[in-house]
Amino acid sequence: MAINWKNGRIAAGKLRHRIDIVHVSPVQDSTGGVSLSNDIIYANVWASVEALAGRETLVMESQASMVDHQVLIRYIGAAPSWQSGYGYVAGTLVKDSNGYLQLAQGDGISNVGAAPVWNQIVGGLTNDGVPSTGLAWKNVGVAPPYTGVTAAMQVVFQGRLFQITSVQNPDERSKMLALMCVEINDSRQQSPNVSSSDLS
């Protein structure tokens, strides 16, 4: 049964599942399909993953099952711009001057003065600040205009893959997000190239 988000609140104990929200890789594999191992983790968060309904359909004369899920998470807002001389912690997101999201790979202090020359290749790294106290950023794709989670992303939960079909801000108070998802029944599933532990 789905969690009721009445009053825009959800008990922390209800968010009992750890999930990765990933950018789908644009890189194709040797067969022309999507290379899931090149997906880049956008966020690793606590969530409630609940099955809403099940249905079966006939695909190419074989039966395939699809299950609709609701994934409830705390609200993830749009990333702020980079700041000079700021102490960042690992996992922080900023929006660079080119419109890309940059993910802090560790703790460190950003450059005092001008921003670094940002790597514009998704998955590419940018060094920021002096070597002894600075940090590195990883380009995780184009920054969405509003909330940082979009329907172009996917959810990885306990080795299962879910396509986000819509992102809802249920009470319009930016307290939580409801990700409406369809489980992808795919025997080629692989893990993204960044582990959850890298973001903790």
pLDDT band at 83 (very low <50, low <70, confident <90, very high): very high
Q: Is the pLDDT of residue 115 over 70?
A: yes
Report the C-alpha gap between 119 and 98 in whole angstroms. 9
Q: Is the pLDDT of residue 173 over 60?
A: yes
Domain map (residue ranges) of the chain: 12-75+146-193, 87-142
Q: Which two tokens stand for residue 197?
A: 């532990």
Prediction pTM value:
0.66
Report the C-alpha gap between 104 and 88 in whole angstroms. 7
Report the C-alpha gap between 154 and 141 in whole angstroms. 14
pLDDT band at 86 (very low <50, low <70, confident <90, very high): very high
What is the topology classification, in CATH, of domain 12-75+146-193?
A: Thrombin, subunit H (2.40.10)
- Average pLDDT value for residue range 166-176: 86
Which residue type is seen at 147? T
Q: Is the pLDDT of residue 140 over 50?
A: yes
Q: Which two tokens stand for residue 125?
A: 């790294």
What's the whole-number average pLDDT of the chain? 80
pLDDT of residue 95: 93
Closest CA to 155 of 180, 126, 130: 180
Q: Which of 14-18, 29-33, 177-181 bottoms out in mean pLDDT, i.e. has the lowest?
A: 29-33
- Average pLDDT value for residue range 106-121: 95
pLDDT band at 171 (very low <50, low <70, confident <90, very high): confident
Q: Is the pLDDT of residue 48 over 60?
A: yes
Q: Is the pLDDT of residue 133 over 70?
A: yes
Which residue type is seen at 51? A
